[in-house]
Structure 1
Amino acid sequence: MSGASEVVKIVDLEAFRATVVDSFVPLDTSTEAGEFEGSIRRIDLGSVQFSEVVATAHTVRRTPRTIRASDPGYYKVGLQVRGYCVLTQDEREAALTPGDLAIYDTTRPYQLSFDDRFRMLVMMFPRTLLRVPESGIAQLTARKISGRQGLATVVAPFLQGLGRDVFTTTPSVAAHLNEAVLDLLAAAFAEQLQLTDSLPPETRHQAMLFRIHSFIESNLSDPELSVARIAAAHHVSTRQLQKLFEAENSTVSGWIRQRRLEQSRRDLSDPHYSHLPVATIGARWGFTEATHFSRLFKANFGLTPGSFRTE
């Protein structure tokens, strides 16, 4: 894989062909459209290469000839963000719409067809790093994993958020995202194969934590959000839930409070909410008492909410 620096190119078809090969593995790229426009940017998250591909209609093919040219033994996972894609491998076909995931294997022929402008996020990494048996992944290639079901409801938003922020992060921060990406992908694929119990404990731990974080984010504005409710929603005891957060040097209530404060700070700096009173902003994020909200905000950010807004 390439170095840790970001690569951004906006190119014509001939240059795009070369960029695809440089960014991934040898592939044949073609289009029937008269005009072509595309861009690729990538960054290394440790051993995971994270790329964003934005382009107009075209087809890429991994053929026996291109496999002979270079066969590094990677898995690639595509998350469709915008547009439509048809992925073909192992005599299967997956039609991907925004939010859908699919995995494919560079050691065997595959094809991706895009019939219009699209945006896709692609994770590429050595096959040996995915903590799911190769025989299991062989059953999942070119099978759509809906971003609206199971663990994919956590994985897809996480990867989309990563796609918004990761290209401007520092190399040291990017490297730390490696395990998080691999753990989440492994958990999502193991769930599809009903192999979740066979995953390493640390992978199950991270997958559960991400699921819980997502649940909390979706319910931050509810002042009745509690440890007991979160535990019940995830079929664990309150003690098990607390232990998950203790392993991250945090507490459930502390994490909820911090996320509410961060969301409140974001809204206080947003001109769209300048007409709302400070107390209303706090209440939007579960702080029902204005004085309590003001005290917590100042303790965390050094200013009262009102002073922060007028700075």
Structure 2
Amino acid sequence: MYQIQQAHSFPEWKKMISSTFVPLEAKPLSSAPFTGLLDGRQLHDVGIMRLEAGAQTVFRSPELIARGGVGHYKLSLQLSGHGLLLQDGREAVLQPGDVAIYDTQRPYSLTFEEDFECVVLMFPQHLLGLSADDVSELTAVRMGKGNRLAESVAPFVASIAAQLPELKSPIGHRLALNIVDLLSTMLADEVYSRPEQNTDNHARLLRRIQHHIEANLADQNLNPDAIASAHHMATRTLQKIFSASGITAASWIRERRMEKCRRDLADPLCNHVPVGEIGARWGLADGAHFSRVFRATYGISPSQYRSNPIPLTNLGANRQEAYGESQDSRL
């Protein structure tokens, strides 16, 4: 449902943004009467919100992070005014048309010294399909004019945000996921275009293998042996490369396949596609096996999830059972 919320005092604004996004501290930078407007829509796992307000600083403190909660990424698109984003020892001065990403699981601050307008896209970290190491290199990095993909992605995000009041829910849901996919591509391009002198060979190789997996999830023959062969190494070497990341190659494949299947099952525009076909399109041709792995991952069957596709953050999933090594070695 499309929502419009207005605040006529700063305490009211602080409460509004904390309940809409994640708990935040905030303070005004002017003694003038404060007003703020927040409008947008929650499209399943993805929230797209437009903010229009006066000068302020918002920050996510270690104390707030310690209270727990699922990690999200937030993309900020500056529409008017200027913003200063600080995270991970970096700072990004955001001008109209600039975008930057930040992580709600680590401290950050955003300062606007004048009236501003921006669009904020917030989504669970697993949707991005990039490793945490990849994203950690790009938090609080300004991407805008001069960035070959950001110059295209930013206007698209702004256009979709402007159309939210008219978009029907199924289309809005699909567009929200499209935006996340575009963001993932933009960030991956940014990672690959950067000098690699500060990244060790092991990390670069793991990143390349993970992107290879992402591009070949639909292949039923995708497995550690096939991946090792494609990268001209022994399977044992592949497993050693993954071991430092805390997850096996097989578990990574399974995780990414389950996420793709979950997204399709939650997509109203895919309601006509049989559940078994959803699994098959992501490399899981055996319907019974797909159902078992999905239930082990998310705690409910694919059919049950399709009937009630609640956000992943609310699923009582035993992910460890699905991602760990088990007697059933199929992916």
TM range (shorter): 0.5 to 0.7
Which of residues 146, 149, 153 in structure 1 aligns to 2:147? Answer: 149
Output the amino acid matched with 1:100.
D
Q: Give the corresponding residue for 1:17.
A: 14
Structure 1 residue 37: Cα displacement: 1.6
Pairs within 5 Å for 1:52-91: 52-91=50-89
Output the amino acid matched with 1:19.
M
Output the amino acid matched with 1:165.
Q
Distance (whole Å) between structure 1 residues aligned to residue 169 and residue 187 of structure 2: 28
Contact 1:79-1:121 at 8 Å conserved across structures: yes
Q: Give the corresponding residue for 1:128.
A: 126
Q: Give the corresponding residue for 1:192.
A: 190
Aligned-residue sequence identity (percent) comes to 31
Q: Give the corresponding residue for 2:243.
A: none
TM-score scaled by structure 1? 0.61
Runs of 4+ in 1 over 3 A off after TM superposition: 199-203
Output the amino acid matched with 1:169.
L
Output the amino acid matched with 1:138.
S
Structure 1 residue 201: Cα displacement: 4.2
Structure 1 residue 8: Cα displacement: 2.5
Structure 1 residue 42: Cα displacement: 2.4
1:106 matched to 2:97? The reply is no
Structure 1 residue 33: Cα displacement: 0.4
Contact 2:82-2:95 at 8 Å conserved across structures: yes
SS at structure 2 position matched to 1:168: coil
Contact 1:100-1:145 at 8 Å conserved across structures: yes
Q: Give the corresponding residue for 2:26.
A: 29
Q: Give the corresponding residue for 1:163.
A: 161
SS at structure 2 position matched to 1:52: strand
Q: Which has the larger radius of gyration?
A: 1
Distance (whole Å) between structure 2 residues aligned to residue 173 and residue 194 of structure 1: 31
Structure 1 residue 92: Cα displacement: 0.7
Output the amino acid matched with 2:121.
M
Structure 1 residue 10: Cα displacement: 3.5
SS at structure 2 position matched to 1:180: helix
1:137 matched to 2:135? The reply is yes
User: Could you list the per-position Cα deviations for residues 81-135 of structure 1 after superposition, in whole angstroms to 9, with x for gaps in the alignment?
Assistant: 1110000011111100011110000001000000001111001000011021110
SS at structure 2 position matched to 1:66: helix
Contact 1:83-1:98 at 8 Å conserved across structures: yes
Structure 1 residue 6: Cα displacement: 2.1
SS at structure 2 position matched to 1:49: strand
Contact 2:2-2:39 at 8 Å conserved across structures: no
Distance (whole Å) between structure 2 residues aligned to residue 184 and residue 107 of structure 1: 22
User: Could you list the per-position Cα deviations for residues 10-49 of structure 1 after superposition, in whole angstroms to 9, with x for gaps in the alignment?
Assistant: 4310100100111100000101301222111120223211
Output the amino acid matched with 2:14.
R
Contact 2:4-2:37 at 8 Å conserved across structures: no
Equivalent pairs counted in the alignment come to 200
Q: Give the corresponding residue for 1:271.
A: none
Contact 1:29-1:61 at 8 Å conserved across structures: yes
Q: Give the corresponding residue for 2:39.
A: 41
Contact 1:32-1:58 at 8 Å conserved across structures: yes
Q: Give the corresponding residue for 2:254.
A: none
CA RMSD, Structure 1 to Structure 2 (Å) = 2.1
Show structure 2 runs of 5+ residues with no match.
194-206, 218-331
Pairs within 5 Å for 1:135-284: 135-194=133-192, 198=211, 200-201=214-215
